[in-house]
Structure 1
Amino acid sequence: MSRTVTVGLDGSPESQAAAEWAAREANLRGLPLKIVNVWEPVPEPMAQAPLLGAETQQHWTERIPREAADGIRLRHPGVDVTVEQPPGRPGEVLSQVAKESELLVLGTRGLSGLGGFMVGSVGLAVVAHAERPVVLVRAGEQAADERMQDPAGTPSASAPYRPVVLGLDIESPDDSVIEFAFEAAVLRATSLRVVHGWNVPPYFAYGMSVDPEFNAHLAKQDAASLAEVLRPWRQKFPSVEVVEVSRSGKPASHLVDASREASLVVVGRRIRRSPIGARIGPIAHAVLHHATAPVAVVPHD
């Protein structure tokens, strides 16, 4: 596997925001950045049309990634930037490209006024089938801003990064997901906020009241389990300040709330070997559509 940060670019504002985020990430990791612009050949009858001739099509398909690469080189002079334009269907090509990358970055579109974001079919398909971490970045300035803001509301290069947030399943924690989150916090020299949501036993949903003392016992028990899972990771990454958050309720809701003050949200996804469908799990799906920070989906067995 070639150690690169790869970004899918199609010229849209969301993919341009993803490219900018990917450039910063490549700089943090000391890795080259690969811009991938998937070229979908126009059907022959359309290619012969006066406004969609071969020369016009080639001009526009080459111009988009070339101008994006030139801009990134100017803004991030320390990053080695290359461009590839493989032909094919974007979802299939990007899933394949992800196998050869340290990290794949894609853009997602905001839904004005609805408090959510549109993860397109290509993005969902890639997240569902990629076997390497995929980061979804929304369009807009806030998505590009991972740093704290000064009193004037403007972040600077010297401002510290916001915390990294990790959604953790303590019933079946996966090392690759946890390690990714800790390393992201180290790269940003920031803290790690680990969020776990728990619920009372199912029979309480059928009219039985919850004794406050029993509820407190469950909360204490869950917090202890969370601390136990994280204990070896605290020892492995002693420089990372870890904040443990154990709350009753839906995990996805807690993660979306935490994303408002995060530089990155990290969630896991079980690898599915079936080529059919695009299931990514209910928590990852909800976080991808509603988190206000970039979301890294880390696949695991």
Structure 2
Amino acid sequence: MISKEQIAAGYREIQDEICAALEATDGQAKFEEEVWERDGGGGGRTRIIQNGNIFEKGGVNFSAVHGKLPHTMKKALNVEQEDFFATGVSIVIHPNHPLVPIIHMNIRYFEMPTNTGETPVHWFGGGIDLTPHYVVDEDARFFHQQIKDVCDHFSDEFYHRFKTWADDYFFIKHRDETRGIGGIFYDRLTANEEMNWEMIFEFSKVLGRSFIPTYTELVNRNRYKEFTPEQQQWQYQRRSRYTEFNLVYDAGTRFGLETNGRIESILMSLPPTAKWVYDYHAQPGSEEERTLSLLKKGINWV
């Protein structure tokens, strides 16, 4: 069986590939790296890109941490063990252009050792989702087709199952709207008769490597389009919804804070500028109203 060290090495390689490709796409900004260590065990590489031609703020972070789970996280994960190991890559990109979408991706592995000689409790998780400021049907269909192709290569059931999971997970309950147009989300994916650990790890890596061809296509489709100050203001309003979800509901944020993670790395997902407009109502028939109408669960894009 693959080791946790092999999984971490594979994720580090994916972080390197994505950072190089994003720098080439932006054409100006370069990632700044901070290598950090976690009190209690492990550490990571935080890489931030800012103030570029198209990327206003983004992060591509790698971590491999271990130690003791606090009681609150044991309860949240429904496990009895205290010792844990977790590794993964987490990405959030906020463009400076309202017609270029926000994107998030996460691939991760979690392990809890048991008694000597016994199989550890372990699983893979992750996902990718898109948050357009304005929903463009053609772009939404392209995005979902890309990730469906990845899923279908491994299982006919993955896309529908993980898309439904994403619709339910990336949902802002207090607003009764989805964070964006969804994508896929999965957790506690383990080996079974149809898929062994090597295949699950391969799925995780293939999903990670789908990020660049998918997102660069969406960036290049829209980055040179003109936009108005009003559209930029709408972008800032949509960013506020993104912020609300990440601070109120996101499990990764909670896990990082509860396990004494690095605060700057955990909160790198927040946008540089966001606005909360009191009691906002979109103009009837506007693109803003149309976008709000599409922030719903269960929309089939492919």
Interval containing the TM-score (normalised by the shorter chain): under 0.3
The structure with the greater share of residues assigned to strand is 2
Name the larger-Rg structure: 1
TM-score in terms of structure 2 length: 0.28
